[in-house]
Amino acid sequence: MPNSDFNHESIQDAYQVGNTIVSSLAPWLIEHTSQACQGEKHQHQIKMVEVTEAIAIARGWHHEKPPWSGSHSQPSDDYLAVTQKCIDVYLLSQGPRGGINGIGWWQWANGYAAIALHDYWSGSNKNYQCLADALRKCEGQHRNFINEFNDDTLWFAICCTHAYSIGGDPWFLSRARQVWQYLNDRNSVCGRGWFNCCDHDMEGGVFWTTKPGEGYLNSITTSLYAELSVRLALLEGPGAPVVEQGHQHFLGLRKLIQQGHKHGGAEEYLEEGRTSLGWILRCVYRPKDAVVMDGISTKDGKLTNWTFTYTTGVTIGVCALLYQASQEDDYMVLACHMAHRAMRNRGWVNENGVLADLGAWGRAPGEPAKNGDGVGFKSVLMRHLGTLYHTIQLTAAQLPLALQTSELIKDFVGINYKSQVERNTNGRGQYGPWWDGPYDSATSHSQLAVLDVMAAARLVFEEGRRGV
């Protein structure tokens, strides 16, 4: 294939070279892009054969109420000020380039996503301008928020969908679309027949990084890709802005190169979300425990069976969003089943209903200030319990399991909000790492985690006045 790397002084010179490339490569591109797509074409339907066991178990499970259900915890009269104060304190650690001191790139995205949902779920735009300015500064460090870790990139892309939903700025929607396209252009999303591990086709799995030789397909990256895909499908519509990137002389070349490849649109976004959820359910999901394992190596076929709150949490959110997009009951049943089991998982939740998740980070005496990723994992589960709750309210879902789950989530959020304000704060808007108390050493990462509790509290106490 001829080298298309050129360096000319004028765009007209570049245009002439571009025309030459198009003319010389057109037959090659048409032939090879067509061949590359064989075996990758998706059927636009749920792959029910692959998830029959998971759905059957979810439908047949008898969910007992936990001892803390029915608590009906009510917020204090000043809870609106309390949730905003948590955000204000967190933003005091903001640096000049948009990030938050003391934590890293993916955590910045999660903190800003929690702030965005706090506004969106409560029908407000109070923090929007600060959020928008910060995200633009962050994007100045990594174009389109892209680094070599696909999960990091996806956290930011999803945050951009929230920012777009609040403010309607097409810049944010464009960033989210470009991240989705980037992952596909880099072959980070497995096509049908690319790999077979553990007797399963790896179609829909997403590689952890774009590093040369990367062979690990992990559940968090895959579930985030599925979430982004479904959110983009929900945002597509007659009013969605169309943004063409690049100089007009090269649009024809780009479209020719992309012939037969994924390029977005509501139908394809939705099918990609379904396909990646299918990979999770058939490859890394334990249906009897309702937990999502970490991932699979395509190099040796080894399954890593770690189970974290955030991998199951994002998958709950994906199922909820797919129900919102399709109104297919199986997605709601799966989401509710996983949510029930998560809120009763004694490895994650204390007997009193507080989401402690000590196994991910542990109570390390003398080290509460240590910045470990695990301190924020539980916050992602809390976030997507909120996603499920809101979807049930938004769609007026009438499945008995959905109504039961909605009430249980409301109790769960109330308990965890109460534990923060009574046992995990110094009373000045700062929060420590131990959600069940006692308060100890507020840091950027402990404050970050509590942001999702505050957002969920605004949602359930105000019944979510806007859609996601």
DSSP reduced 3-state for 244: coil
Quote the CA–CA distance of 49 and 46 in Å, as a whole number: 9
Quote the CA–CA distance of 314 and 317 in Å, as a whole number: 5
Task: Please tell me the pTM assigned to this model.
Answer: 0.86
AA letter at 416? N
In this prediction, residue 5 carries a pLDDT of: 34
Which residues, at least 6 apart from 62, have a Cβ–Cβ distance to it below 8 Å? none
265: left (phi over 0), alpha (psi -120 to 50) or beta: left
Which residues, at least 6 apart from 269, have a Cβ–Cβ distance to it below 8 Å? 180, 229, 230, 232, 233, 236
What are the distances in angstroms from CA 349 to CA 40, 267, 305? 41, 38, 20
Which residues, at least 6 apart from 411, have a Cβ–Cβ distance to it below 8 Å? 68, 69, 70, 71, 72, 73, 353
Residue 207 contacts residue 216 (beta carbons within 8 Å): yes
Residue 316 contacts residue 384 (beta carbons within 8 Å): yes
Helix axes 377-395, 444-462, angle to 10 degrees: 20
pLDDT in tens, the chain (468 residues): 333 332 333 333 333 433 433 333 333 333 333 333 434 434 434 444 557 899 999 999 999 999 999 988 888 888 999 999 999 999 999 999 999 999 999 999 999 999 999 999 999 999 999 999 999 999 999 999 999 999 999 999 999 999 999 999 999 999 999 999 999 999 999 999 999 998 899 999 999 999 999 999 999 999 999 999 999 999 996 555 554 444 444 444 444 444 446 777 999 999 999 999 999 999 999 999 999 999 999 999 999 999 999 999 999 999 999 999 999 999 999 999 999 999 999 999 999 999 998 776 555 545 666 766 777 899 999 999 999 999 999 999 999 999 999 999 999 999 999 999 999 999 999 999 999 999 988 999 999 999 999 999 999 998 644 444
